Every structure is written in structure tokens, then in C-alpha cells.
């Protein structure tokens, strides 16, 4: 009997992890992940509870590229099964340790790095914080509340308290600083912004290095300049008005797209400009729609764009506190349990298009104690989904804002277990309940979002004020849209499942993982957002404008190489068989800072098929029989003397003469070339993928036969036999190009950070399909001269 395939093992055993069907379907789409899961599941006892299953999922996903032969992945899996590793932060630490460890794993060292056995009671947290504050008391007394952030960061990164519950640690630091320093006063007001000193005269800078000016302009002019300063947001409870300066964002239910780059830049950039911090918070309140890959992808994109979250938090960090506030809302007479169907709620809100008469729910005025008991019954499992929900008692009759029509605050969900809390909760808060309260818990000063949430501002403020807690300020800006593409997750999923594209990171898409894989540098995205500015109006921008910004950015920052997409050999007959000379060529014309590399030149070179014609014409300046052309960086021209063809009529070889005698005559044009010099490793054979716009029209969804009918059949051309000069090896070794933003840290620089301009062809980057033996290249954008090469 044959061994079961990895797919069969996964299909049989995965359900015993308690993670539901969706993660299984996703795993089966990824061959590496399927193989990794099969290796793990074949060697553990099943079933396991959902919380352990979620931790195993985090391990296997993060270590799918780690082979199963050396036992390192199995070591981490065993640590999960034996309950040594109990939290996601421990899993992250374990994966980081294992991936960076050469040789055998030392158990004691592993346990220390991952916080194994470290448990924190409230008393222990209090003792540790007190000891730190006592040790640094003089500094804290001098800096007062400005010491809060450095204290918290140090405790979370440089002590064992990094394994303590984040909310408990923050609460304790808050309490002990307040006890030491007393109430805040004028000494704790944020400093006024000082003007920057002018740059030194004559300082030479590449265009994109002048990032600070364009970034600051975003915050000094227009929408963002009009926002309140820290401490300027009025509160219904005056004692809640303090100086908070942080921002937030992130729902782990899909990949981010180009529009999210604006949100990331505004939120993190605004905080950085004002000397504040920006949280990255995952709104993980719907376990049925959340997957670990989305959590990871969001964090990686934020860091790739050059931003470091002050803290990474989750709505689930606050589930207990949110539940307690939900009970408090009921006790205050501001919440009630409703048993209406979706259709009944819709009628209460005016029916179709909200145009009818609104009326109150029949459960709205039930006794407080009854609603409180029913809410506890919801948590106790008495009700199935849609049988009961907690609604906010807002202003359904008097307000014209649908966001004030008694929104749902809690609902019952009994589907997939939560990725962090497992099966601990069967009721989950809604976004409308969670978002503003988590902002308040984390002392957010500005909750910045797009204008489709403008109606939510009223309900956001209402809930904070109803509970008497600190109220951040929500403000809205116009979202960014690119024409000529689609950004709907559902529609992109159809492109992926239908095989129209390679995956969510296909370079023809405008998800940020796709844009990154295509090779577009993070600095170019930031420059694009800065150019557009920030207003309350939606931006509808053509793809060509986006590409213009990318092209302009690359022009100043990446090296030049010679590449041939469709090579034909040129034999220079008047050079000896063993002819070999090397030319020193700069990576960037007129810029010595990027260095030089040697380019060999021999009797046999390759040019692109498009640079040779069998018949000459007056408006054609490249190679043809009897005609001369220059080879870039070669001192003399070559003249074609003859050529041969195969049976199909394709030119297979051109013979030429090196015109190194007599008076030099400057050619009308120069073309790129790559020589044949095996001793020098030339040529380097590569696969080049040239992508064009995926859709034919500016609005694919206008196509009467659906957006799928608008797909451009020529959206990708693959040249499997392209060649490039040997300088590619040094360019690859010295990546990232440019060394800016999030890629300047090598651990965040992927293969796509190896970027260059292929002379006369376009800008290219290394693709993730590349191997040690063969490079695969993606065209990032065309050159400015991409109107065709008639000459």
C-alpha cells in the first residue's frame, strides 16, 4: 500500500486541531505549508484543543521553510504540546531563536529566550516595576511623565516583564508613576516644535533623500495641519483631557492594498512628526474571518514601509475589560439585550434604504437587571448566533445618523476558535463597540480613518461619553483609489482561485504584498502619498501617475546593468578567438558613490533580436547588414557583414567587424550587449517577466460581462532565455537598492530589494521565485522612452 500524500495526511488530520475548515483550505493551496503540516501531524498525538491548535498553526506557518530533517521545527512543536510555550509572543521568540541558531538547540538557552516557566502575578509585576523605578528614580523625577514611554519600553524589551500581560504592566507603571510624581502640570506639557536648521549650502543630495521636507509638508499644510494638538481634545469629563499622541489601525481579514499605504503613512507619519508613538492594533473580533498570514503580512508591510510600531496590540488583549464595560453600559441604562431578527432590526431602522418610519425595539425598555442577566446568559452559552445580541441604547428616534440607531455591541459566534483566546469566548464585541474603547484604553489621541467612517464619529464619541471614559478624537480623510485595477478582496480572491494571477502577491495586482514583490521600493510609495497630499476628498489616480513617481524615484537610486531579453549572437570576425578585455563601468553614470564593476568583452557578444534588421531603412539606426552601431561602453563600433537563419526564417547568428582602425565615426545610437566569456561567468542566464496592466480599461467593473472579461490577455510576457551581465552578482550582494526606509535593515530586505535599471529595457527587481542557481526578474516599470524604439 502506497504512502499517503501530504495532501491526504493534511485532509485527514487537520480537523483534529479544532481550527475549522477555512484554514485547511488555505493550507492546501500552499505546497510548502501542506508538506510542513503533513510532517508535523504525522508525528503528534491528536486531537488537541483549539488553543494548542492555534499555536501549532503559528509555528508551522512561520517555519514552513525550515526543513523537517534537522528536528528544529519538531522541537518547537514539542514545546507547544508540552505547554512550555503558551502564548504568541513566546512562539515569535521561539521561531526567531530557532531560525537564528546554528547547530544544536540548547534547551536551557531556548527556555530563557522564550520565557518558558516565567509567570507573573500582580504582586510580582508590582515588585519588578517598583525596583526599576527606584533604580532610576533621579532620572524619572527629572523627566517626570516624559519618562513613561522609555520606562515602559525598557521594561517590555530588556527585562523578563516582556512576558507579563501588557495591559497589567502598563496599568502598574501608570499607577506607580502617578504615586511618585502626583498629578500632571505645566511641566508635563509637550514641547513646542522647534524650526529645523537650514541645510548646509551646497550640500549635494539625491532627490529622494530629501524625504523630511515632503513628509513634513503633509503635516504642516491642509487637513493634517488642522487637527488638534496633543491635549486639545475636549472631554465631557474634564479630568479625562490629557495629552495623548498615538494612532492606530489594522484588521487581520485580508491583505492590505495600495489604498492602505496612505493610511499607514498618515497614521505613523503623523505620530512621528509630533514626536509621538503609533500603535499597530489588530481588530481581531471576528475569528471566522481572521488568519495568521494576515496578521504577519500587515506587520511586515508596516515595517517594510519604514515604520516601527510603538506596540503591537490586539483587541483581544482587552476582551475581559470590554466585557466588563458592556455590563457597565447595561447598568447605566445605555444597553439592552435584543432578540430581534435581522429583518426586524431593519424595519426598526426604517426598512429598505432607511426611508421608512423608525421605531424602538420591543426589548429596549426591559429592566436593567433582566438585560444584565440575559447578557450573562449569552456568555454562558444559552443562545445560538442571531438569537440574542447586546445593543446600545442610542437615539434611534431622534437622530438622522444611522450610526446612532441602537448599534449592536455584542453578538454570539460559535464558529472558528479565536487565534489567541481559543474557545474562551463565545460572544464577541463588534467593531463599533471595540474600536473607540480600545483607543481609549491605549490613550490614543487621534483615531484617523477614511471618510466612509464619518458617521461613526458620533457613535464613537457617544459610547466613550456614555461610559465616562477618556474620549480620543476620530477624524476622517479621503481614501486613495487607483483606476485601472480592482482592490476588492472578494474579487481578487476570484482572480487567484481562477488562475488568472499567480496569487495575492502577483506583481500585476495592487495589494501591497504584490507591489512589494514587483520591486516597487517603499520610499517610492511614501513619495507618492506625499505628492498627493491629504484632504477629505477621495483621490482617484491613474496607474500611470503612480508609475511616474516610481520611475522618478528609481532613476536616482538604482544601478544600471545591461540585459538582453531575446538574445542573438554576434561573432566579431576580426577579433581573435581568445580575445578578452575588461572595461570598468560605473553602476550609475556621473555618480562615483555607487562604485564600478568590470564588464568583459570578447569575440562573441549577444544583442537583443529587436536591435537587428535584415533590411535597413532611413529612420532605423541600429544594426543591419552593412550598417554600424555602437556597443555601450565599448570604444569602437561594429558593422554587420552577414547573418544566418534557421528553417523557420529566424536569424540565428550575425557576423560583424570591429571598426577599430581608421578614423572613429560616432554612431547614431548605442545598444546594450552581453558577452560570451565562460571564464568570467558571462552571460548570466535569467528569466525576465514583463508585466503590463492587468485590465484593459480604466474601470474594469464597468464591463457588462464582469471585470473578468476586461482582463488584458497581454498582461504578462515571460522571457525564459534572457541574459544579463555579471554585474548582477554584485548588485545582488549589495542589496537593498536604495538603502532607505524599512529595507535598510537587512532582515527586512527581501529578494525584491535587488533593483536595477536594465539599460534601454526598464527597471527590474529580483522575484521571490529566484533560486541559488537561477534569477527570476520582474519588471517594476518601463523607461520614460517606452513609446517604442523605431530608431
pLDDT in tens, 408-446: 999 999 878 998 999 999 999 999 999 999 999 988 888
Question: Where are the chain's structural domains?
Answer: 6-114, 122-184, 316-442+452-474, 557-791
Q: What's 68's DSSP letter?
A: S
Which CATH architecture describes the domain 316-442+452-474?
3-Layer(aba) Sandwich (3.40)
What pLDDT was estimated at residue 261?
Answer: 93
Q: How many angstroms separate the CA atoms of 707 and 695, rounded?
A: 8
**Superfamily per CATH, domain 557-791:** Ribosomal Protein L25; Chain P (2.40.240.10)
- pLDDT attached to residue 228: 52
Structural contact between residues 66 and 37, judged by C-beta atoms closer than 8 angstroms = no
The single residue listed with the C-alpha cell 497589567 is 168
pLDDT number for residue 227:
67
Q: At what angle do helices 292-304 and 258-273 cross, to 10 degrees?
A: 60
pLDDT score of 791: 57
- Which residues have C-beta within 8 Å of that of residue 678, sequence separation ≥ 6? none
pLDDT score of 206: 40
Task: With beta carbons less than 8 A apart as the criterion, state whether 360 and 397 touch.
Answer: yes
pLDDT at 539: 81
Q: Which residues sit opposite 644 in a β-bridge?
A: 653
| Regions of the chain where pLDDT drops below 70 | 1, 67-70, 157-158, 186, 189-251, 741, 745-748, 785-791
Q: Nearest Cα to 240, choosing from 416, 583, 469?
A: 469
Q: Collapse the DSSP code of 716 into the 3-class scheme (helix H, G, I; strand E, B; otherwise coil) and give the result.
A: strand
CATH hierarchy code of domain 122-184: 1.10.10.2420
Q: Residue 202's pLDDT is what?
A: 38
Q: Indicate the class that CATH gives domain 6-114.
A: mainly alpha
> What phi, psi does 236 have (nearest 5°)?
-70, -30
Please give the full DSSP string across 746-760, using - where no structure is assigned.
Answer: GGG--GGG-EEEETT
Amino acid at each position: 500500500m502506497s504512502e499517503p500524500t501530504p495532501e491526504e495526511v493534511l485532509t485527514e488530520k487537520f480537523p483534529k486541531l479544532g481550527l475549522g475548515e477555512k484554514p485547511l483550505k488555505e493550507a492546501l493551496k500552499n505546497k510548502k505549508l501542506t508538506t510542513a503540516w503533513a510532517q508535523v501531524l504525522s508525528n503528534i498525538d491528536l486531537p488537541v484543543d483549539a488553543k494548542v491548535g492555534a499555536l501549532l498553526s503559528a509555528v508551522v506557518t512561520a517555519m514552513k521553510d525550515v526543513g523537517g530533517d534537522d528536528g528544529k521545527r519538531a522541537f518547537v512543536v514539542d514545546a507547544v504540546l508540552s505547554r512550555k510555550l503558551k502564548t504568541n509572543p513566546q512562539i515569535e521568540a521561539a521561531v526567531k531563536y530557532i531560525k537564528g541558531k546554528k547547530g544544536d538547540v540548547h534547551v536551557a538557552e531556548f527556555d530563557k529566550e522564550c520565557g518558558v516557566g516565567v509567570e507573573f502575578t500582580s504582586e510580582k509585576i508590582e515588585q519588578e516595576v517598583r525596583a526599576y523605578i527606584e533604580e532610576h528614580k533621579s532620572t524619572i523625577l527629572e523627566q517626570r511623565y516624559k519618562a513613561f514611554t522609555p520606562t515602559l519600553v525598557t521594561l517590555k524589551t530588556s527585562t523578563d516583564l516582556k512576558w507579563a500581560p501588557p495591559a497589567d504592566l502598563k496599568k502598574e507603571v501608570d499607577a506607580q508613576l502617578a504615586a511618585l510624581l502626583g498629578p500632571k502640570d505645566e511641566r508635563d506639557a509637550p514641547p513646542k516644535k522647534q524650526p529645523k536648521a537650514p541645510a548646509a549650502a551646497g550640500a549635494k543630495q539625491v532627490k529622494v533623500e530629501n524625504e523630511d521636507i515632503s513628509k513634513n509638508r503633509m503635516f504642516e499644510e491642509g487637513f493634517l495641519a488642522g487637527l488638534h494638538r496633543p491635549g486639545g481634545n475636549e472631554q465631557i469629563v474634564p479630568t479625562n483631557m490629557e495629552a495623548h499622541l498615538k494612532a492606530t489601525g489594522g484588521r487581520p481579514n485580508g491583505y492590505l492594498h495600495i489604498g492602505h499605504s496612505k493610511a499607514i503613512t498618515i497614521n505613523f507619519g503623523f505620530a512621528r512628526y509630533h514626536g509621538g508613538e503609533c500603535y499597530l492594533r489588530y481588530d481581531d473580533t471576528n475569528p471566522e474571518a481572521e488568519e495568521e498570514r494576515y496578521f504577519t503580512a500587515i506587520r511586515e508591510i508596516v515595517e517594510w514601509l519604514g515604520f516601527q510600531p510603538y506596540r503591537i496590540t490586539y483587541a483581544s488583549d482587552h476582551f475581559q475589560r470590554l466585557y466588563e464595560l458592556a455590563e457597565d453600559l447595561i447598568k447605566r441604562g445605555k444597553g439592552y439585550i435584543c432578540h430581534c431578527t435581522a429583518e426586524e432590526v431593519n424595519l426598526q431602522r426604517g426598512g429598505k434604504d432607511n426611508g421608512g418610519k423608525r421605531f424602538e425595539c420591543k426589548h429596549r425598555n426591559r429592566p436593567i437587571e433582566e438585560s444584565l442577566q440575559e447578557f450573562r446568559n449569552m456568555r454562558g452559552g444559552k443562545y445560538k448566533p442571531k438569537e440574542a445580541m447586546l445593543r446600545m441604547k442610542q437615539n434611534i428616534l431622534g437622530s438622522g445618523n444611522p450610526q446612532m440607531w441602537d448599534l449592536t455591541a455584542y453578538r454570539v459566534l460559535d464558529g472558528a476558535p479565536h487565534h489567541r483566546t481559543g474557545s474562551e469566548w463565545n460572544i464577541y464585541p463588534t467593531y463599533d463597540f471595540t474600536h473607540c474603547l480600545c483607543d481609549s484604553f491605549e490613550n490614543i489621541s487621534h483615531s484617523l480613518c477614511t471618510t466612509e467612517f464619518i458617521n461613526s464619529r458620533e457613535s464613537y464619541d457617544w459610547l466613550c461619553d456614555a461610559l465616562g471614559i477618556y474620549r480620543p478624537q476620530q477624524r476622517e480623510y479621503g481614501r486613495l483609489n487607483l483606476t485601472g485595477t480592482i482592490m476588492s478582496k472578494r474579487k481578487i480572491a476570484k482572480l487567484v482561485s481562477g488562475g488568472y494571477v499567480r496569487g495575492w502577491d502577483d506583481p500585476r495586482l495592487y495589494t501591497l504584498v504584490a507591489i512589494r514583490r514587483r520591486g516597487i521600493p517603499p520610499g517610492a510609495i511614501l513619495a507618492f502619498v506625499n505628492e498627493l497630499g491629504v484632504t477629505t476628498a477621495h483621490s482617484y489616480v491613474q496607474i500611470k501617475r503612480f508609475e511616474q513617481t516610481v520611475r522618478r524615484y528609481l532613476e536616482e537610486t538604482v544601478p544600471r546593468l545591461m540585459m538582453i531579453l531575446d538574445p542573438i549572437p554576434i561573432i566579431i570576425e576580426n577579433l581573435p578567438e581568445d580575445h578578452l578585455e575588461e572595461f570598468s563601468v560605473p553602476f550609475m553614470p556621473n555618480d562615483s558613490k555607487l562604485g564600478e564593476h568590470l564588464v568583459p568583452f570578447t569575440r562573441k557578444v549577444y544583442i537583443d533580436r529587436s536591435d537587428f534588421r535584415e533590411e535597413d531603412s532611413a529612420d532605423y539606426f541600429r544594426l543591419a547588414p552593412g550598417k554600424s552601431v555602437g556597443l555601450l561602453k565599448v570604444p569602437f563600433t561594429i558593422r554587420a557583414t552577414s547573418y544566418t537563419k534557421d528553417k523557420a526564417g529566424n536569424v540565428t547568428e550575425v557576423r560583424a567587424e570591429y571598426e577599430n582602425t581608421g578614423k572613429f565615426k560616432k554612431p547614431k545610437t548605442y545598444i546594450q550587449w552581453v558577452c560570451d566569456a565562460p571564464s568570467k561567468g558571462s552571460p548570466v542566464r535569467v528569466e525576465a517577466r514583463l508585466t503590463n496592466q492587468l485590465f484593459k480599461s480604466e474601470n474594469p467593473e464597468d464591463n457588462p460581462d464582469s471585470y473578468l472579461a476586461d482582463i488584458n490577455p497581454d498582461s504578462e510576457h515571460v522571457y525564459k532565455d534572457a541574459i544579463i551581465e555579471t554585474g548582477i552578482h554584485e548588485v545582488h550582494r549589495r542589496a537593498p537598492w536604495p538603502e532607505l526606509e524599512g529595507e535598510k535593515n537587512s532582515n527586512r530586505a527581501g529578494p525584491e530589494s535587488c533593483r536595477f535599471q536594465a539599460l534601454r529595457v526598464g527597471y527590474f527587481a529580483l522575484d521571490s521565485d529566484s533560486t541559488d542557481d537561477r534569477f527570476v526578474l520582474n519588471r517594476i516599470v518601463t523607461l520614460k522612452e517606452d513609446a517604442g524604439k523605431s530608431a
